[in-house]
A = this chain, B = another copy of it.
């Protein structure tokens, strides 16, 4: 059997996580087995355990890596010397890119977080809640500044996050239009609407 190859710019653990995210997205976390993951990588199941402790540990790695990416990004956005609208646009574009560039990982974090064990489950949910609250605050600031309409900020954030999450249904239509059209048109509609 072959050895586990490290992914480019990454470790062997990164390579396993990447393959696992693809497997968990397609089959679901519960229905995926370590044996199947090993087969997908082309190694013996036993050699996986040199790099990771369990299937649950892989799910934790995926969910917390995705959370880190979003948290680090919103840290930067909050520091920008720009108005709330520009910050919001920055966030929408980042979400679109995450849904496309890290599709397997973000999909798994969105759909399979319920399978996390404690204390990771509560911790992950709490981080998501804080992230949403930070987005809501940016919308509130925009309403207060007068750049945004007096829309209920929670509804605006729900609308944005749900719309972007729907990119999972776009994957089938990739050939009709590319990522930059998707990013520009979705951002335009969510911030400035469909009407001329």
How many copies of the shown chain assemble into the complex?
2
Tell me, yes or no, whether A152 is within 8 Å of chain B by CB: yes
Return the CB mask of A162-176 against B: 1 if under 8 Å, else 0: 111111011001001
- Number of interface residues, chain A, beta carbon within 8 A: 41
Chain B residues, CB < 8 A from A82: none
Let me know if B185 and A156 touch, CB within 8 A. yes
Let me know if B190 and A194 touch, CB within 8 A. yes
Chain B residues, CB < 8 A from A173: 154
Return the CB mask of A47-72 against B: 1 if under 8 Å, else 0: 00000000000000000000000000
Return the CB mask of A140-175 against B: 1 if under 8 Å, else 0: 001000111101101110111111111101100100
A residues touching B (Cβ–Cβ < 8 Å)? 85, 88, 139, 142, 146-149, 151-152, 154-156, 158-167, 169-170, 173, 176-177, 181-182, 185-186, 188-196
